[in-house]
Amino acid sequence: KLQETISPRSSRCQTGYRAVARYEPSEVHIAGGQPVIMAGGDYYEVFPTDEATLVALVGDASGHGLKACMSIITMHTLGRMLGTSRFDDTSSFVGEINSMLCSNSIVQSGGGFITLLYLVMDTQAHRASWTSAGHPPALHWHLGQRGWAIDNARGMALGVIDDAEFTPSRGRLRPGEALMFYTDGVIESADQDLDEGIDWLRHAALQAVETRGFAGMPKRVLKKVPRGDDDRAMLVLERQPLTSPE
């Protein structure tokens, strides 16, 4: 039930944009003949704040189970308390959330922290700003390159240093291009480091796009991830191809 309080029912976008996402828990138990998703710390959300602004978040709380779930619910709640008027400046928003989490007892217990990738898209100018707080790098599907480029945005995880500084990345999406955000459960395993995991993801996602496009891509990619002890979440934000010249 806790997980359901922050699980998005839909991924709403303005006309011309589409978000596809997938969350897979590390634990699913059977109760009364029905699958029950156990609480975890991975989280994503997509929502418009006005007719031209789209917000996307992917977060991951350290640890597993109830503690991780409570931490991510805390971040979600604090973000909504700041209000939509503060959403546009991604680095300032992440900085304020970080300051709040540094003094939050739920997150701080046991040395906890949260990684976050927070994006704001201007759906009329088609320009995006995103800020990473210790999160795996975003991947950008470039039409000209026919592949996923790695964004170099970096930053300290949330809840670690009160005065941490965050620097945004910026980019523009052309028709048919996309941004991909994901949690470390997608790329991390005992037999490969994160760089190898990112290379694997770029290759798997390239194959997924070339065979069937972006629709349903997170589900198809996550099916290839070896089952481990970590939750997994993936979000792909696509600017849809134009039906007529721009």
Q: Name every residue whose Cβ is closer than 8 Å to that of residue 201 and which is 6 or more positions away in sequence.
A: 139, 148, 182, 186, 187, 221
Q: How many CA atoms lie within 13 A of 94 on its CB side?
A: 35
Q: What is the pTM of this model?
A: 0.88
Mean pLDDT is lowest, of 17-31, 95-109, 179-193, for: 17-31
The one-letter amino acid code at 22 reads: R
Of the pLDDT bands very low, low, confident and very high (cuts 50, 70, 90), residue 228 is low
CA distance 197 to 191: 10
167-195 confidence digits (pLDDT tens): 999 999 999 999 999 999 999 887 788 89
Res 4: pLDDT: 56
**What proportion of the chain, given as a percentage, has pLDDT over 70?**
85
Mean pLDDT is lowest, of 33-42, 121-130, 219-228, for: 33-42
Res 245: pLDDT: 44
- Please say if the pLDDT value at position 244 is more than 50: no
CA distance 163 to 46: 27
